[in-house]
């Protein structure tokens, strides 16, 4: 059996990223009601783009031809993910929308990897992933919230899961070739060019009050910029499908914040789901740590 310190590092980076993503729902709940979900998504990627500009100007550049096609595709996936996620959550509710979007993403990742790369993820990965996804569903049912299965909301959340899984598998290749800072800059610049016009077309001009900027800046800088930087660096050391599954730590974080910060009382069924999610994640981590260590190629430094 082989274990890799680099794999452990990748797992920790992705888990930290997922914890930051877990603050998104609480932060969005604090956003003024007049700010549409479309503008929340667009501003989130736009501010993150500015964050990556500051990082990229100090980062080394890779020599040779850049994979612009994949960079643009990854940016389109990020734009589609943010737009469909926030709109889907608004239509289906935070608990159900997040469960569908985040829960479907690992399944999409496993299927995409199998079809595109012709490589089936390990059975231990599937076991841990399915246990975590099922646990996430139990968490939602156990919270006792009113569940509204609006077809449009479900479709949007499934789209969010698919585009997030696609982005992750593409992003892993890009980070190894271009580097985390430059990859994220190109991806989020592309996403901004898509998301801002869509938000303007669907919601009209930006209605920003003073109370909106604090929430939006947090979403853009912390739960997006810093989180995706950690996530991208983590993907250099672990499988893309594993990275998608470990993002299920996001609803775990949201659950804990709801209990400790907001003061929500959760039913026993929800706690059982939480335990199942964590147990499944531990199985996925075990599967990743059993894999042969993979060394991430170094980005060639420019002048």
Q: Among 17-21, 154-158, 194-198, 251-255, which stretch is predicted with the lowest mean pLDDT?
A: 251-255
Burial of residue 290, with CB atoms counted within 10 A of its CB: 0-12 exposed, 13-18 middle, 19 or more buried? middle
Cα(261)–Cα(271) distance, integer angstroms: 17
Cα(231)–Cα(15) distance, integer angstroms: 8
Could you tell me the pLDDT band of residue 301, with boundaries at 50, 70 and 90? very low
Domain boundaries, the chain: 9-117+146-237
More confident of the two residues 19 and 212: 19
Predicted TM-score (pTM) of the model is 0.85
Residue 302 pLDDT exceeds 60: no
- Tens of pLDDT, residue by residue over 19-58, are 998 887 677 666 666 667 788 888 888 999 999 999 998 8
- Tens of pLDDT, residue by residue over 172-185, are 999 988 889 999 99
Burial of residue 230, with CB atoms counted within 10 A of its CB: 0-12 exposed, 13-18 middle, 19 or more buried? buried
Q: Give the Cβ contact number of residue 286 at 10 Å.
A: 14
Residue 269 pLDDT exceeds 70: yes
Q: Measured in Å, how far apart are the chain's first and last C-alpha atoms?
A: 42
Could you tell me the pLDDT band of residue 262, with boundaries at 50, 70 and 90? low
Closest by CA position to 282, among listed 74, 106, 131:
131
């Amino acid at each position: 059996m082989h274990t890799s310190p680099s794999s452990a590092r990748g797992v920790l980076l992705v888990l930290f990223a997922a914890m930051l993503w877990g603050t998104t729902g609480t932060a969005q709940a604090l956003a003024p009601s007049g700010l549409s979900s479309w503008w929340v998504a667009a501003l989130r990627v736009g501010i993150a783009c500015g964050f990556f500009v500051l990082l990229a100007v100090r980062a080394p550049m890779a020599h040779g031809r850049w994979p612009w096609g994949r960079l643009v595709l990854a940016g389109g996936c990020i734009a589609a993910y943010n737009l469909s996620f926030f709109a889907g959550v608004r239509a289906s509710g935070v608990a159900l929308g997040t469960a569908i979007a985040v829960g479907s993403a690992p399944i999409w990742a496993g299927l995409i990897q199998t079809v595109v790369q012709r490589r089936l993820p390990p059975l231990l990965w599937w076991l841990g992933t399915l246990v975590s996804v099922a646990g996430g569903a139990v968490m939602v049912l156990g919270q006792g919230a009113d569940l509204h299965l609006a077809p449009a909301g479900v479709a949007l959340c499934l789209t969010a899961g698919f585009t997030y899984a696609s982005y992750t598998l593409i992003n892993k290749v890009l980070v190894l070739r271009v580097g985390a800072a430059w990859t994220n800059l190109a991806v989020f610049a592309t996403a901004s060019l898509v998301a801002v016009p869509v938000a303007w077309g669907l919601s009209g001009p930006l209605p920003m009050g003073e109370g909106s900027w604090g929430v939006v800046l947090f979403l853009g800088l912390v739960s997006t910029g810093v989180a995706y930087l950690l996530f991208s660096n983590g993907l250099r050391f672990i499988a893309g499908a594993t990275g998608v599954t470990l993002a299920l730590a996001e609803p775990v974080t949201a659950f804990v914040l709801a209990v400790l910060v907001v003061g929500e009382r959760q039913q026993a069924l929800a706690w059982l789901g939480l335990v199942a999610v964590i147990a499944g994640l531990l199985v996925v981590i075990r599967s990743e740590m059993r894999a042969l260590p993979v060394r991430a190629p170094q980005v060639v430094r420019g002048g």
